[in-house]
Amino acid sequence: MNTETLPTFNSRRIDVGGLSLNVVVEGEGPDVLLIHGFPDSHQVWRHQIPALVEAGYRVIAPDLRGYGDSDMPRAVADYRIESVVSDLVALLDELGVNKARVVAHDWGAIIGWWLAMLHPERVDRYVAMSVGHPNAYARGGLAQKLKGYYVYLMQLTGLIEWLLKAGNWFVFRLLAGNHAEFGQWRREMSRPGRLTAAINLYRANLGSMVLPRNHPRTAVPVLGIWSSRDWYLAEKQMKMSQRYVDAPFRYVRVDGVSHWLQLDAPERVNPLLLEYLA
């Protein structure tokens, strides 16, 4: 279990259309937007934020709606991906950012793909960590379908919350591969309503993984990063993403680390980010 003392970053409350987000804003220079996924908060980027600031960037790392210390809407529909993307666009507006470099992981990566497709004018370049383009995910073959079984478990309202918490969160720990971050996740998800709010991203967006033919393609440069010990995402879904990108696409595989590669191997991930974002 993780016994690491978590750092404290400069954060502020920022209103994004009636919703208040907790947002870390650190450093000066070109803007880098970091988007976390499930079941994380901005703390999943704690090894990247100092490195980016030292390299001369201004880092913007929000807690998404329902996560961390941001507001927690109650309705499942409030977690539709379009609403979360709108939060991020409004956040950039509030901070006076016309265009940002974007780095995203897990559900944050899905949101990042949508941000790049719907608002390419706001994205300078995009780093998708662990999750490929939505259509590539949907067409990732049998391996991806088997690895993605948990997506359907998340639809079992009430039952999955009970199951994840049963036995002192034993099932949650099991699904997370007994990752060292488990203690942090349990603390976050034990707060009233936070587990359901986090899971609502799955419930509100089950159909968002297959886009209609007339949906905009990705028109910004993309770096896809996948880790070989990812329990949840098959390599094929990341490599296939190039089919849906009308801009330069680069793929990097990081061997020997889990789905949370930015926590497992910052000494390998950070140089990749700094090189690509420069």
Catalogue all structural domains in the chain, each as residue range(s) with its CATH number. 11-277 (3.40.50.1820)
Average pLDDT over residues 195-214: 84
pLDDT exceeds 60 at position 167? yes
pLDDT exceeds 80 at position 24? yes
pLDDT exceeds 60 at position 247? yes
pLDDT band per the 50, 70, 90 thresholds, residue 201? very high
* pLDDT at residue 149, rounded to an integer: 87
- At residue 131's C-alpha, the angle toward residues 126 and 133, to 5°, is 70
Q: 267 by DSSP, 3-state: which?
A: helix
What average pLDDT does the chain have? 94
* pLDDT at residue 146, rounded to an integer: 86
Tokens 């998708």 belong to which residue?
128
Question: CA 23 to CA 256: how far, in whole Å?
Answer: 32
pLDDT exceeds 60 at position 3? no
Question: CA 49 to CA 51: how far, in whole Å?
Answer: 6
Average pLDDT over residues 188-205: 96
Residue among 109, 97, 99 nearest 45 (CA): 109
Cis amide linkage into residue 271, ω under 30° from 0 = no
Task: Provide the pairing of β-strand 31-35 with 11-15.
Answer: unpaired
Question: CA 233 to CA 229: how far, in whole Å?
Answer: 9
pLDDT exceeds 70 at position 155? yes
In this prediction the pTM is 0.96
Q: What is the dihedral of CA 74, 72, 210, 125, to 10 degrees?
A: 160
pLDDT band per the 50, 70, 90 thresholds, residue 210? low
Tokens linked to 125: 């370049």
Average pLDDT over residues 16-31: 97
Largest Cα span, the chain: 48
pLDDT exceeds 70 at position 48? yes
Average pLDDT over residues 221-230: 97
Check residue 122 and give left, alpha or beta (phi > 0: left; psi -120 to 50: alpha). alpha
Q: Which of 7-21, 91-105, 197-211, 233-247 has the lowest mean pLDDT?
A: 197-211
pLDDT exceeds 80 at position 116? yes
Residue among 64, 63, 1, 4 nearest 266 (CA): 4
Q: 260 by DSSP, 3-state: which?
A: coil
Average pLDDT over residues 75-101: 97
Backbone angles phi, psi at 33, to 5 degrees: -95, 125
